[in-house]
């Protein structure tokens, strides 16, 4: 296990004097030069001003939603979590492009969770009575033993 791949051992300083200014100034989304309107802009991501802007978040929302169909349902969960303000604010019109993807991700993730939990519970509680000898072939620790997968202890 090489340690060198992670350049470690730096606790970097917070350079207060040369703090990074965010790329966008907050009043461009509001339009106009009126003071004070900038900081009331609603950010589409749960990270707020540290997250993505609205334009860039559309492509990410779409790509996460589509990639979730490649056996990656937890990408839908990440999508929902990340764009939680989009789900909450139904009134804000600027999110109308992102919202369909986030809502669809939420629905697909709910469906997946229902299917997964029902299958796992059936498997765990039914046991051999329900499945017969196939149960022993399917359960993870037997599969790991058969394939010789190493355990940690």
Residue 79's nearest CA partner among 120, 107, 39, 115 is 107
Which residues within the stretch 7-66 sit at the binding site for another protein (CB under 8 A)? 7-16, 19-22, 25-27, 33, 35-36, 38-39, 45-52, 56-57, 60, 64
Residues 98-137 that bind another protein (CB under 8 A): 116, 119-120, 123-124, 127
Q: Least distance from C-beta 23 to another protein, angstroms? A: 10
User: Alpha-carbon distance 115 to 112, whole Å?
Assistant: 5
Among 48, 25, 55, which Cα is nearest to 37's?
25
Please report the sign of the dihedral spanned by the C-alpha atoms of residue 85, residue 91, residue 97, residue 99: positive
Q: Check binding of 150 to another protein (CB under 8 A).
A: yes
**Which residue lies nearer to another protein by CB, 107 or 144?**
144
């Amino acid at each position: 296990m090489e340690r060198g791949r992670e350049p470690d051992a730096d606790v970097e300083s917070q350079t207060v004097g040369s703090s990074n200014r965010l790329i966008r100034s907050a009043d461009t989304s509001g339009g106009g030069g009126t003071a004070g309107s900038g900081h009331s802009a609603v950010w589409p991501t749960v990270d707020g001003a540290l997250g993505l802007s609205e334009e860039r978040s559309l492509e990410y929302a779409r790509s996460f939603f589509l990639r979730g169909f490649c056996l990656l349902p937890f990408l839908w969960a990440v999508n929902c979590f990340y764009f939680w303000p989009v789900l909450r604010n139904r009134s804000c019109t600027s999110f109308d492009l992102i919202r369909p993807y986030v809502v669809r991700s939420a629905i697909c993730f709910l469906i997946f969770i229902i299917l997964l939990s029902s299958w796992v519970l059936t498997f765990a509680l039914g046991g051999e009575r329900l499945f017969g000898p196939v149960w022993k072939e399917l359960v993870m620790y037997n599969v790991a033993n058969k394939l010789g997968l190493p355990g940690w202890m």
